[in-house]
Amino acid sequence: MKIKVLSLMFLLLGFTSCLKNQADGVQVLDVATYEKKISEPEVQLVDVRTPEEFNEGHIENAVNINFMSDDFDANVANLDKEKPVMVYCKAGGRSAKAAARLKELGFKAITDLEGGISNWTSDNKPTVK
C-alpha cells in the first residue's frame, strides 16, 4: 500500500513539474522531440555553454551565447523575440536558467533540451566542432 501511495506521489510531482514548465512558457523536450523541432523553419538554436565547451562539440547550426557571461542579455537582444528559441547546455541547469531569463526578456516560444547535450550525445546524436 505504501509503495502505491509513494508511486502516485512521484507521478503527481512529475506531472506538476511538466505543467509548471509549460505554464512558465518554457517547453522541455526529450532528445527525439527536440531534434525534430530544431529543423522547423525560423528556429533560433542557442547553446548557452561557455565558448570552450561549445568548441568541444555542439549541435549543428547552434549559436553560442554564454549564459554565464556578463553580456548575455545584450547578446540575446540580437535574437527575434517572435521566433522560437531553443536552448541547451551541458546537462540542463544553465539552459533552464537561460530559458527563464529569455521569458523575462519577452521571448514568446522557448524550448529547452532535457538533460542538455549530455543526453543528446548519449543518444548518439551528431555534433560538430
pLDDT digits (tens, 9 = 90+) for 76-103: 999 999 999 999 999 999 999 999 999 9
Q: Is residue 20 part of a domain?
A: no
Domain membership of residue 113 (yes or no) is yes
- Is the pLDDT score of 13 beyond 80? no
- The CATH number linked to 42 is 3.40.250.10
Range of the structural domain that residue 43 is part of: 25-122
Residues 6+ apart with CB under 8 A from 95: 48, 67, 87, 88, 89, 112, 113, 116
Coil, strand or helix at 67 = coil
Give the catalytic positions in this structure. Answer: 89
Asked if residue 108 belongs to a domain, the reply is yes
Report if residue 2 sits inside a domain: no
* Residue 46: per-residue pLDDT: 98
Q: Is residue 38 part of a domain?
A: yes
pTM check: above 0.85: no
Q: What is the pLDDT of residues 21-53, one digit of tens each?
A: 444 789 999 999 999 999 999 999 999 999 999
Query: How many domains does the chain fold into?
Result: 1
